[in-house]
Structure 1
Amino acid sequence: MYTHYSLFTFFFLLPTLISAHLVEVPAGKKDCYFEDLHKHDKMTVTYQVGEGGHLDIDFWLSDPSGTVLGKQIRQSTGSISITAEKDGRHEYCFSNQMSAIADKMVSFNVHGVIYVGGDADVVAPIEREIRSLAAGLTSVKDEQEYIVVRERTHRNTAESTNARVKWWSVLQAIVLFSVVAWQVYYLKSFFEVKRVI
């Protein structure tokens, strides 16, 4: 009976917030998002820059009063976790203001746990295992999305390199045939007998 009540409490009083996004941050701009949290709610934001420039971006997370809770400068990937100290709108921003021409593609995930006091302090072993499993699944999901972004970045690099090699080969062939044609023409004119009439 206690186990069923604990599971009921876990699934209805401790919902998990999970969302994933892919956004483009234009050069010289910043994109900001927010989450409404209550005191003791937990939130984690992980991000990965997939395309653009040097694959870096500025990121920060602030509380409702504007106090910066975490900041990362010119990183290609990162994660910030917080536990809300006050109720209100917590804002997180991706800034590409350091770049004048390169837009950045950023993939990010937001996940967290809504805190519930009272009976939630008494945790049954099955609840502890479920929480541990949920945290592990979230970690695996983040790692999988990181791998997908890296694979896309490497594929783009390989395709770009392939295109450059192809066009360099075409240019070399054009130069080679041009030199051969010029040499044939020059040698032909060198051995021509000029007659004076």
Structure 2
Amino acid sequence: MIRDSKGHILSQKDSITKGKFSFVTDTYDNFEVCFISRVPPERRGVSQDVTLDIKIGIEAKNYEGIGEAAKLKPVEMELKRLEDLSEAIVQDFTMMRKREEEMRDTNESTNNRVLFFSIFSMVCLLGLATWQVLYLRRYFKAKKLIE
């Protein structure tokens, strides 16, 4: 069973021992893949191997099937694959640029907050130091320890 972060089930197959499964989403999300092993009583204790090969994006496309459906020559199919690969690279760079802008904005916001907090701290410390000096001066004058 394959489920997205909102709880929607994207794929669910029963009694599968081998095969390829695919699903398409328009959003970037986290997916949960769940395997349930139902072993007959006579095979309990025997080790089982589960292999999971996840392909995303351009890796997941079946270009042989696309080439056969569109009756493309092998060179045309390779060109189509390279075109899709270059488009995926451009999309990745666009996404990285957007994430870099978001991180830069977060960094600048954090720097401004730290600056204002440090200025506020300095003003508080200077105010407290001034108050302490004035208070001690009045106290010593009241006790007649200084003139």
**Greater per-residue helix proportion:** 2
So what's the TM-score if we normalise by structure 1?
A: 0.38
**Higher strand proportion:** 1
Structure number with greater Rg is 2
